[in-house]
Amino acid sequence: MTPELLAASRIVRRGQVLTILGLLAATAVYVIALCYTPMEMRQGLAQKIFYVHAPAAWGALVAFAVVGIVSILYLWLHDERLDLFAASSAEVGIAFSLVMLTTGPIWGKTVWGTWWTWDARLTLTLFLFFLFIGYLALRAAVQDRGERARFSAVVGIMGLVLVPFIHLSVYLFRTLHPQPVLLKPSAPSMPPEMLRALLSGMAAFTILYIGFVVLRYGLARLENLREGAGDAL
Amino acid sequence: MPFETPQNGGFLVAAYVVAAVIYLVYAVSLWIRASRAMRQAGQGGSGAAGQ
């Protein structure tokens, strides 16, 4: 077994352990949200969708921000591992976005009376999702490894530019989407039990994000070794 | 003016189930792809060592 293969396998194993920890932590968040948080009287039980929706949004935005930052580092340092890490974070970000974009409309239907509305926050988030679908499609389409890394790094940086706009869109535009309750200059605007559940959710889904990314990165390293062996033949 | 708390527990269940399914399907997909890649890499490595 070559040292590269050994290193990639070790990363995969670490990713598997972290993913299991993340899934267990996510299960704990489900229990906390369902059993230990009060019911919001005006919104009913559907308000508890918040404890899954907000951490998924957090995970997605962190993932896409990481893609952009690591892409900048790739263009600077030209280290292939940075490109593989960015691509891994993009794929994981899409999984988190899918949760955000499905749980959001389910909650929206109960609060706004509609599944979807084309307001700034929702539209920009959907645009970001499609941008990273395009990022992965681009990677699948370009065969040359150097070109693929360079082109996708540019798209990744464009995604990073969108992230702060999405967070600030509720301040910049008239929108139905509620304003942040946690990531804002003033103190969190929610009861302590709800805040605890939200913070646990964000911590748990951050662990899950790290687990997914490490596992996907290990897989990318293995695929890269195979691709390299194919090129050498 | 008094208000009635809406009965919308079904939406809560739907959202939690959808989220769990997406996370689990993605975790299983990563797991299977990684296991397959490690197996293939191991076979390739032992093949190369044998030559």
Q: Do A44 and B34 touch (CB under 8 A)?
A: no
Could you tell me which chain A residue has the CA closest to the CA of B14? A106
Q: Domain spans of chain A?
A: 3-177+189-227
φ, ψ of residue A44 to 5 degrees: the values are 75, -160
Task: Please check whether residue A98 touches B, CB under 8 A.
Answer: yes
Per-window interface: A 34-53 vs B, CB < 8 A: 34, 39, 41-46, 48-49, 52-53
ipTM of the complex as predicted: 0.91
User: Cβ of A212 under 8 Å from any chain B Cβ?
Assistant: yes
Q: What pLDDT does residue B49 have?
A: 38
Q: B50 or A208: which carries more pLDDT confidence?
A: A208
> If you measure CA to CA, which chain B residue comes closest to A115?
B11
Q: What is the C-alpha separation between A139 and A219, in angstroms, rounded?
A: 15
| The pLDDT of residue B45 | 54
Q: What is the DSSP letter of B3?
A: -
- The pLDDT of residue A182: 65
pLDDT at res. A136: 97
The CATH number of the domain covering residues in A3-177+189-227: 1.20.120
Which pLDDT score, from 0 to 100, does residue B3 have?
73
- pLDDT over threshold 70, residue B2: no
List chain A residues with pLDDT less than 50. none
Q: What is the pLDDT of residue A167?
A: 85
A216: chain B residues, CB-CB within 8 Å:
30
Supply the pLDDT for residue A180: 67
Distances (CA, A) of A130 to A90, A93, A113, A134, A166: 11, 11, 25, 6, 14
What DSSP string describes chain A?
A: --HHHHHHHHHHHHHHHHHHHHHHHHHHHHHHHHHSSPPBTTTBGGGGGHHHHHHHHHHHHHHHHHHHHHHHHHHHH--HHHHHHHHHHHHHHHHHHHHHHHHHHHHHHHHTSSS----HHHHHHHHHHHHHHHHHHHHHH--SHHHHHHHHHHHHHHHHHHHHHHHHHHHHS--SSPPPSSSSSS---S-HHHHHHHHHHHHHHHHHHHHHHHHHHHHHHHHHHHHHHHHH-
d(CA A140, CA B31): 21
Which of A44, A52, A215 is nearest residue B7 as measured by Cβ atoms?
A44
For residue B48, pLDDT over 60 is answered with no
Please report the pLDDT score of residue A171 as a whole number.
80
Dist. CA A60–CA A66, nearest whole Å? 10
